[in-house]
Amino acid sequence: MRPYKVLLFIAVTMAVLGALYWAFPEGKLLKTSLFADNEPSTDIDTIAEFPVFAEEDTIVPETPKPIIPKVVVDSTTDSRVFLQAFYASLAQSSERKIRVIHYGDSQIEEDRMTQQIRETLQARYGGKGVGLMPLAQTIPTLTVKQELRMSGRFTMPANGPRRYLVYGPKPTQRTDGLYGVMGQVAVMNDSLVSGSEDVTAICKPIVKTALYERWQVFADSSVHYTFAGDTVQLSGKGSVYGLSQESKTGIIVDNVPMRGCLGIVFTKIDSEQLRTFYEKENVRLIIMQFGGNAIPSNQNPGTISAIVKGLREQVQYLRACAPEASILFIGPSDMLTQIDGEWQTYPMVPYMDKLLRKMAMEENIAYFSLYRWMGGAGSMMRWQEVGLAGSDGVHFTRSGARKAGNAVVNWMLEGMEE
């Protein structure tokens, strides 16, 4: 080989080695293993004792990677394929508890829609009770009547233990992210509210399907509690993240309404609290129903696109906190506004529906389009005519919500039979 060719070979080799050095600093090359970052955390020391949520500052472990593999999709893919993990868990419902959490905006207040999902799943797979409820319920439900007493006297929820909401105005928010799985917490502390260190919650089932077998309380270890029938007596100073009426086996479906919320709040909740609850409570399906609150005040496609991007981040966060759970996103219903004096569908409803479905498919989660199921543009007017939607052109009536809830759960279960 001629001398100049040897020199050229040496120069090229040195350049390649230099590039590799800068691309992979010392100690980094070994971490590029195909399997290095795919194992979920199994460090028992990082998991708080259930059902107590620790209040002390802790080092949050690295968020585990989801264990459900990604699926390549196209325009013909039925998104129910992404519910397979939930479907598989149902085979264990006679032996253990399978939990479903339904997060949503005001469309699911009063336990609407969720009630039908719960009743159908429990009728088929067992389970009792309505699941989670806050210590003080500010919005009455159709399934359980709640009453709050402090120091033996009846108290309105607004006058009870101080509440913090991840989806509320600034004065009601915390800086530590300790909101619990419902995104709200009640603090028993007489320095905040006189008498709040002695609380009685009475939660009486209204309908037969709300009957339960046992209570659970999710609170700090400093809060002590006893049960007597439909009553739970709590004492001490600390945070109460929720009460639950349920059974030891079968399906438990929690209703978690967040009035006025866009759904872009879950990343503000402490990931360790979420991870602990989802794991210990065997949460196998998370339902997210958001988007409607973005429509009336946003008519710019760019803004809607940014909101959907934010919802994508919430999906990714919850999936990382509950890697064994399936996720179902329910899009907004048809919604009406006046345009040139006539009631019409908000122009951004079909656009958001399209973006949400695209996001869901890309994130490998199931998607149910309320907008398309109702009949598309203008369908809300037909629903109003038959008493299934309210005069605001936005919300379902109770009968409309029952119809919608049944449609969702039947669609889910049909996916098992295909």
Lowest-confidence pick of 12-26, 134-148, 314-328:
12-26
Dihedral sign for Cα atoms in the order 316, 317, 323, 329: negative
Does residue 51 have a cis peptide bond before it, meaning omega lies within 30 degrees of 0?
Answer: yes
DSSP codes, 1-30: --HHHHHHHHHHHHHHHHHHHHHS-TTTGG
Give the number of other Cβ atoms within 10 Å of residue 63's Cβ. Answer: 17
Q: Write down the pLDDT at residue 76.
A: 78
Give the C-alpha separation, 312 to 362, whole Å. Answer: 10
To which H or E segment does residue 319 belong?
A: helix 301-321
C-alpha–C-alpha distance, residues 253 and 121, integer Å: 9
- Please give the single-letter amino acid code of residue 46: T
- Read off the DSSP letter of residue 338: E
In one-letter notation, the amino acid at residue 392 is D
Q: What is the pTM of this model?
A: 0.83
- Looking at residue 7, its pLDDT comes to 47
Using the predicted structure, report yes or no on whether residue 262 has a pLDDT greater than 70: yes
- Please report which confidence band the pLDDT of residue 137 belongs to, taking 50, 70 and 90 as the band edges: confident
**pLDDT higher than threshold 50 for residue 25:** no
Instruction: Note the pLDDT tens digit of each residue in 109-121.
Output: 999 999 999 999 9
Which pair of tokens denotes residue 249?
């086996």
CB 330 within 8 A of CB 357: no
Give the homologous superfamily in CATH for domain 50-56+75-127+247-418.
SGNH hydrolase (3.40.50.1110)
Q: Give mean pLDDT, residues 244-272.
A: 97
pLDDT in tens, 338-370: 988 899 999 999 999 999 999 999 999 999 999
Of 306, 256, 220, 214, nearest to 107 (Cα)?
256
pLDDT the model gives residue 71 = 64
- The Cα 32–Cα 55 span in angstroms is 36
293-332 pLDDT, tens digit per residue, is: 999 998 899 999 999 999 999 999 999 999 999 999 999 9
**DSSP-assigned beta bridge partners for residue 251:** 98
Measured CA to CA, the distance from residue 376 to residue 396 in angstroms comes to 15
Could you tell me which residue, 71 or 403, shows the higher pLDDT? 403
Confidence band of 14 (pLDDT split at 50, 70, 90): low
pLDDT averaged over every residue in the chain? 86
**Single-letter amino acid, residue 247:** S
Residues 329, 366 contacting (CB under 8 angstroms): yes
**Cα dihedral sign, 134-140-146-148:** positive
Token reading at 197: 């260190």
Sheet harboring 224-228: ordered strands across?
A: 153-155, 144-150, 198-205, 231-235, 224-228
In contact, 367 and 411? CB cutoff 8 Å: no
What percent of the chain is modeled with pLDDT above 90? 77
**pLDDT exceeds 50 at position 26:** no
CA separation for the pair 198, 236 (Å, rounded): 7
Identity of residue 71: V
Q: What is the pLDDT of residues 206-233, one digit of tens each?
A: 999 999 999 999 999 999 999 999 999 9
| pLDDT number for residue 70 | 65
4 pLDDT higher than 90: no
Sign of CA dihedral 143, 145, 148, 152: negative
Q: Are 353 and 333 in contact (CB under 8 A)?
A: no
Query: Which pLDDT band, with edges at 50, 70 and 90, does 415 fall under?
Result: confident
Q: Decide if 301 contacts 342 (C-beta within 8 A).
A: no
Domain with CATH 3.40.50.1110 in the chain: 50-56+75-127+247-418
Residue 126 has pLDDT above 50, yes or no: yes
What is the structure's pLDDT at 73?
A: 66
Please name which of 258, 254, 163, 155 lies closest in space to residue 201, comparing C-alpha atoms. 155
Residue 72 pLDDT > 90, yes or no?
no
